[in-house]
Each structure stands twice: as C-alpha cells, then as structure tokens.
Amino acid sequence: MIGTWRWNVAFGICGSVLTLLFSLGSNGLAVTSMRCLYAFIAFFVLMYLFRAVIALILQPGAVPLAEESQSQDEARGIQVDMSTPDESDELNDLLKQQMDGNVQLEPGAQSNFQPLTPPKLVSTPNKEPEELAKAVRHLTGG
C-alpha cells in the first residue's frame, strides 16, 4: 500500500472542512456536524481505496521462472551499475604533471591551445558631450 493511514486522515479532514464550509450557511449546527462526520468517513474510505488501486498499479509484475534462467547475454542491460571507477591516483598524477609543466599529450596529438586575447577597451576622455549624447541616442534607439 502506498503511503500511511495519515493520508487517509488528512483527506478525511479536508473533506470534512469542505462539507462544513458549504453546509454551515444553509443548515443548522447539528445537521452540519453530522454531515461533516459522514464526509470524514466517506473521504477516509475513498482515500483508502485510492491508495489500494495505486499500489496495484505500481506493483512490479511477477517474473516467470522461464525468464529467470536467461543467459548472461540476454540479461545484459537490465541492471545499471551507477558507480564510477576510482581514478584518484591517475587524477593526482595528471595534476602533478600539470603543476610541474610536464603535461604529456597522447601520441599523435598536437596542442592547438591559444590563450584568449580579447581586444582592450579604449576610453575617449576628450570627446565632445554632444557627440556622446548622439552615440547614446543611437544606441538606445531614441
């Protein structure tokens, strides 16, 4: 069964509160309280049935005995190993080589690495205010 009895109680209380809100304006307190009790019981049972149906739907199917005797090739891909191999020693060696400047490339590989050299920004301290205002108007579309 999915969940616990607390879900049933919470759903029953929600049903009772809704019944109280909709029934209190047109009925007396005795009738409203009796309807709230009935609503609690009905919503409690409905939630129990809902949880039972969900448990049946989500229940994994039984594996027939014939499928249990599959060969290793047919069973491949059913289970996934989510662990990663421990490569901390290789990583430490690579970091040490990089710190020493002895980075060795794989055979036949060439290093095409070039550091990024962006153009430097140039300021214009001696521009006329009118030209700057024109540039701002042009950039803002105004």
Residue 119, φ and ψ in degrees, nearest 5:
-70, 145
Percent pLDDT > 90 in the chain is: 30
- What are 10-58's pLDDT values in tens digits? 999 999 999 999 998 899 999 999 999 999 999 999 999 999 999 888 8
pLDDT of residue 19: 94
Give the Cα separation of 27 and 35 in Å (integer): 10
pLDDT of 70 over the 80 cut? no
Give the Cα separation of 135 and 142 in Å (integer): 10
